[in-house]
A and B are shown apart, each in its own frame.
Chain A
Amino acid sequence: MDLHVVAPLASPAERDAVDAVLSPLIGPPASGWHGGVRDSKADGHIARGGHEARSHRDLLIPALHGIQARVGFISQPALAYVCRRLSVPPAEAYGVATFYALFATTPRPPLVAHVCDDIACRLAGAEDVCSDLGRSLGPAGQPTRDGRATWLRSPCLGQCERAPAALFTSAGESPTSFAVAPIDAAGIVARFDAPRIEAVGPVAAPTPDDRLAVARRSVPQAGDDGLRILARIGRIDPLSLDDYRRHGGYEALARAIALGPERVISEVTDAKLVGRGGAAFPTGRKWAAVAAQITRPHYLVCNADESEPGTFKDRALLEDDPFATVEAMTIAGFATGAERGYLYIRGEYPLAEARVTAAIGAARAAGLLGPDALGSGVSFDIEIRRGAGAYICGEETALFESIEGKRGEPRNKPPFPVEVGLFGKPTTVNNVETLANIPAIVLEGGAAFAAIGTDGSTGPKLFCLSGNVERPGIYEVPFGVTLRELLDLGGGVRTGRTIQAILLGGAAGVFVGPEALDTPLTFEGTRAIGATLGSGVVMVFDDTADLVGTLRRIAAFFRDESCGQCVPCRVGSVRQEEILARLAAGRPRGSAADELALLRDVGQAMRDASICGLGQTASSAIESAFRQPGMMSL
């Protein structure tokens, strides 16, 4: 490949940022061609590229993260330097950089507040926060007077239980990033003014009592007896491997190795565990399919992209019990014959990322990851990859593309990931919560797990309760609990208020009315009423909530998050947003009924003809609201 790189030289800071990421992995620039000092010895008539270059392509996004964190935006010279280092054509790298919302390709102040204006935060006054910020700081994206900071609107940050939320990113020599929730405009401005922004970052809760109290803000049940997935949340020091082991950690891996891969897979199959990431695919079947592939290597991917609006359970698991994911990934890798696992975590989860990075390091140091895990000859290690602001990268094949250093554009299926997945190899993808169930299945057996819940939906389930309820948070219940019972756990709606609607499954889910309160929260129960559990979102809208505004926000979300590949979703999501806006403004083209018919026409084409689940579900929640008698008055 003949790279054509014309940009001027990257600044020392930019080159340092790139080299800090790349040099430990692929060494310093090998030649002038690679962005180093020109040296006639190394730069003679030698062809570059080919396999060597392609094998490093997956480092493109980590390198872009490096620049973004150091400089605050990606300049043309900086991108050109990355292109030389990795032999990536600049046009392609530009296509990647402009795909991800957390990468800026125009100058941006180092300090940015990403202010969530998504559905749960709207219910908690996010629009007021944004208009206050507009008054005190100027419009979104405009630098503050000292040029040091700016604010931007953001889709759901996965902090909905403490809405409204904001994520701060501070670029520089020691970059930081942290979420604060709840927060108001004054809080955001105060953090801009704090002389050392780092000082207000989250600190590990020092005492066990504090820890429990902090955990309870997101997991109200933390510390209760009888919890399975959430058992350790708030009870252990998330940074301490010893603490994890004192609470039963790593017993399951030892047991799995004693059982052998086939037995582990048959226990998972007997458990009737299905994926918790949204698609509800039987995990045992997936594992068996990958294990049976003769093509090597196999890969394991833990999907921690968690970007479905209203979903925040994986965040809590990774923040407060990170070793559990590391252990479960090791078991899954062992069972499916993978020696390398990737944990793909959304870029908006800095604390979870820091905790799980620490956990991987500690596990490696203790010989629990690496060429000879637990001294048993099992070889498995984990690499973390950070997303960069793209909901679509939670879709498994888009996630592969992203790990491979490309735009997060889903692949057409078949072939399915179990045959052709990450780097074209057989790959198991599992959600964080799916994996969180694995240790118990290995220790207690599949039959014991299958005895929990209902016939069609086995085991415990996490629900992300948010919106207009007294105690929003993550709740663990056995499958079969009704919607009403879950709401009661969360204290119900505030006194004097009534339920207008409940959103099940997130933006890709379905609105139901109060008459659905006695529906059991199972896959079969929700299916029976035409709804879905999706990723476990239960968002409550009381009689004060602005449903039309919510629907418009959902439409805007899909319009923003569509990857843009296929026509039904790329254009359909725009038309859907336009129709809703016209209805909301009381200016329908023709009658309101005409507009609704058009909306349904667009919805059906998106559902039937889109490449991936994003387009296929982009009209789901919106159409469901109009189907509910009396829910929408337009």
Chain B
Amino acid sequence: MSIDPILFEPPARPSHPPEAPLAAEVGAVELTIDGRAVSVPAGSTILEACRAEGIDTPTLCYLESLTPVNVCRVCVVEVAGARVLAPACSRKVEPGMEVMTDSERVRHSRKLVLELLGSSVDVGLAGPQAPDGSIAAYTERYRADPTRFGPSANPAAADERDAREAGHHHAAVGEPTAATVGQPVKIDNELYVRDYSKCILCYKCVEACGVDAQNTFAIAVAGRGFDARISTEWNVGLPDSACVYCGNCIGVCPTGALMFRSEHEMREAGTWDESAQTMTDTICPYCGVGCTLSLHVQDNDIVKVTSPMDSSVTDGHLCIKGRFGFQFVQNRGPG
């Protein structure tokens, strides 16, 4: 009897050489923003140019460490001569561009985006980066009034939205309420919860779970239109999915839809109190990579763990051990 070897020849190398990387873009681009002459490095986005000028631009789906998906449209600006508005977060500057960040059209669209989101999603915790409620400031700045579309319709039953089929919605019949993405929180594991009634569908978690960080592909956008949702394969619970509990989706979620179970439970119990929390940076003890951990501590208990977005080691991303493996620190059993 012969024994099959376990190690084998690798497949042949590709016959064509890899493509050369694109030449680095150099030089500066001159443009005007709100009438001011601005010069920024070629290849910059309008958002980067605005930030360099100190022009505060709202963003929701944008994050430095992720590929721009430009889907929320809250960052739109007017470019002279263009038929439609442009997303500042992904549109590259061009020489001679005339950008307006506070025109009537810009204000209108930003206001409507905030109203449309506010009327369909629980944005109570939403902010441009970490869930911090700062969407409220923009709502005020643009005088957005999400209640214009009527009171919220009743939330859907558990998993009802996940079962909706593309192209077959129940047509509106004239009810006085506004449809929402409301639904019960999905709690199916010890580590984190998914409250998709807070989800603005910014795609950040999908990107973080996919090629932008984790390469696990446990979640994706399923369904279509207003019924589009973040879903595991066949909406199975996280323990049955490909999820490895790195928590990187939680780290990028701007709305609090994805949340440490510890935070969720404290919020439910009314004991979550950010003003009473301290944040301590340390190095993860588990392996030699040396990720920076930020420990959020309340009443001498670690209540959640993040990593700084600007950490050159992590870009804000961690693994299950650094993210969730902190129980041993506070194991204060007898003896």
Q: Which residues on A are within 8 Å of B, measured CB to CB?
A: 1-4, 6, 40-41, 44-46, 51-52, 76, 79, 89-95, 98-101, 104-106, 141, 152-155, 389-390, 407, 412, 414, 552, 556, 559-568, 570-575, 577-578, 580-582, 584-585, 587, 589, 598, 601-602, 604-605, 607-611, 616
Does any Cβ of A come within 8 Å of B316's Cβ? no
Task: Kindly report which residue of chain B lies nearest to residue A389, judged by CB atoms.
Answer: B167
- A564-B225 CB under 8 A given contacts A91-B242, A412-B87: yes
- A556-B169 CB under 8 A given contacts A90-B242, A575-B116, A575-B119: yes
Which residues of A sit under 8 angstroms from B236, Cβ to Cβ? 6
B167 touches A605 (CB 8 A): no
A602 touches B112 (CB 8 A): yes
Which residues of B sit under 8 angstroms from A571, Cβ to Cβ? 116-117, 119-120, 226
A40 touches B105 (CB 8 A): no
**How far apart are A159's CB and chain B's nearest CB, in angstroms?**
18
A585 CA / B173 CA spacing, docked (Å): 8
Query: Across chains A and B, which 6 residue pairs bring their CB atoms closest together, nearest first?
Result: A585-B174, A564-B228, A101-B167, A89-B217, A4-B242, A605-B112
**How far apart are A577's CB and chain B's nearest CB, in angstroms?**
5
- A604-B223 CB under 8 A given contacts A412-B70, A565-B71: no
A46 touches B10 (CB 8 A): yes
The secondary structure that dominates the B interface is loop
A3 CA / B175 CA spacing, docked (Å): 45
Q: Which of B176, B217, B223 contacts A587 (CB 8 A)?
A: B176
What are 9 A-B contacts defined by CB distance under 8 Å?
A4-B242, A44-B5, A44-B8, A106-B163, A564-B223, A567-B74, A572-B116, A578-B175, A582-B176
Hey, what's the 0/1 contact readout for B162-180 against A, CB within 8 Å counting as 1?
0101111101111110110
- A610-B168 CB under 8 A given contacts A46-B10, A559-B226, A589-B150: no
A556 CA / B234 CA spacing, docked (Å): 26
**How far apart are B156's CB and chain A's nearest CB, in angstroms?**
14
Task: Kindly report which residue of chain A lies nearest to residue B178, judged by CB atoms.
Answer: A578
B227 touches A564 (CB 8 A): yes
Chain B positions 190-218 with a Cβ under 8 Å from a chain A Cβ? 200-201, 215-218
Given A91-B222, A92-B220, A99-B222, 10 new contacts (CB under 8 A) = A1-B217, A6-B240, A79-B233, A94-B222, A390-B224, A412-B91, A564-B224, A575-B119, A581-B174, A609-B76
Hey, what's the 0/1 contact readout for B55-99 against A, CB within 8 Å counting as 1?
000000000000001111110100000001101001100000000
**How far apart are B203's CB and chain A's nearest CB, in angstroms?**
8
**How far apart are B219's CB and chain A's nearest CB, in angstroms?**
6
- Chain B CB count within 10 A is highest, among A45, A567, A602, for A567
B6 touches A562 (CB 8 A): no
A3 CA / B242 CA spacing, docked (Å): 8
B71 touches A566 (CB 8 A): yes
Give chain B's interface residue range (CB within 8 Å of chain A).
Answer: 35 or more
Does any Cβ of A come within 8 Å of B36's Cβ? no
**How far apart are A351's CB and chain B's nearest CB, in angstroms?**
22
Q: Which of A94, A564, A570 contacts B220 (CB 8 A)?
A: A94
Task: Kindly report which residue of chain A lies nearest to residue B9, judged by CB atoms.
Answer: A46
Which residues of A sit under 8 angstroms from B120, Cβ to Cβ? 571, 574
- A101-B108 CB under 8 A given contacts A46-B8, A95-B220: no
Which residues of B sit under 8 angstroms from A567, Cβ to Cβ? 71-74, 113, 116-117, 200
Does any Cβ of A come within 8 Å of B272's Cβ? no
Q: Which of B166, B172, B178 contacts A100 (CB 8 A)?
A: B166
- A587-B4 CB under 8 A given contacts A91-B232, A571-B116: no
Does any Cβ of A come within 8 Å of B14's Cβ? yes
B6 touches A40 (CB 8 A): yes
- A101-B4 CB under 8 A given contacts A90-B242, A581-B173, A601-B112: no
Q: Which residues on B are within 8 Å of A, measured CB to CB?
A: 4-8, 10-11, 14, 69-74, 76, 84-85, 87, 90-91, 105, 108-109, 112-113, 116-117, 119-120, 148-150, 163, 165-169, 171-176, 178-179, 200-201, 215-228, 231-234, 236, 240-242
Task: Kindly report which residue of chain B lies nearest to residue A584, judged by CB atoms.
Answer: B174
Which residues of A sit under 8 angstroms from B232, Cβ to Cβ? 91, 94
B169 touches A605 (CB 8 A): no
B168 touches A608 (CB 8 A): no
A577 touches B172 (CB 8 A): yes
B171 touches A552 (CB 8 A): yes
A98 CA / B69 CA spacing, docked (Å): 20
A407 CA / B231 CA spacing, docked (Å): 14
Which residues of B sit under 8 angstroms from A580, Cβ to Cβ? 172
A288 CA / B61 CA spacing, docked (Å): 36
A570 touches B233 (CB 8 A): no
- A76-B234 CB under 8 A given contacts A1-B215, A91-B241, A565-B71: yes
Task: Kindly report which residue of chain A lies nearest to residue B228, judged by CB atoms.
Answer: A564
- A99-B166 CB under 8 A given contacts A390-B224, A568-B73: yes
Task: Kindly report which residue of chain B lies nearest to residue A95, judged by CB atoms.
Answer: B220
- Chain A CB count within 10 A is highest, among B73, B231, B236, for B73
A91 touches B166 (CB 8 A): no
Q: Which of A153, A390, A412, A575 contacts B166 (CB 8 A)?
A: A390
Task: Kindly report which residue of chain A lies nearest to residue B86, judged by CB atoms.
Answer: A412
A560 CA / B165 CA spacing, docked (Å): 10
- Chain A CB count within 10 A is highest, among B76, B167, B227, for B167
- A51-B14 CB under 8 A given contacts A101-B166, A571-B117, A609-B73: yes
**How far apart are A328's CB and chain B's nearest CB, in angstroms?**
30
Which residues of B sit under 8 angstroms from A589, Cβ to Cβ? 150, 176
A601 CA / B116 CA spacing, docked (Å): 11
A578 CA / B151 CA spacing, docked (Å): 12
**How far apart are B132's CB and chain A's nearest CB, in angstroms?**
20
Task: Kindly report which residue of chain B lies nearest to residue A560, judged by CB atoms.
Answer: B167
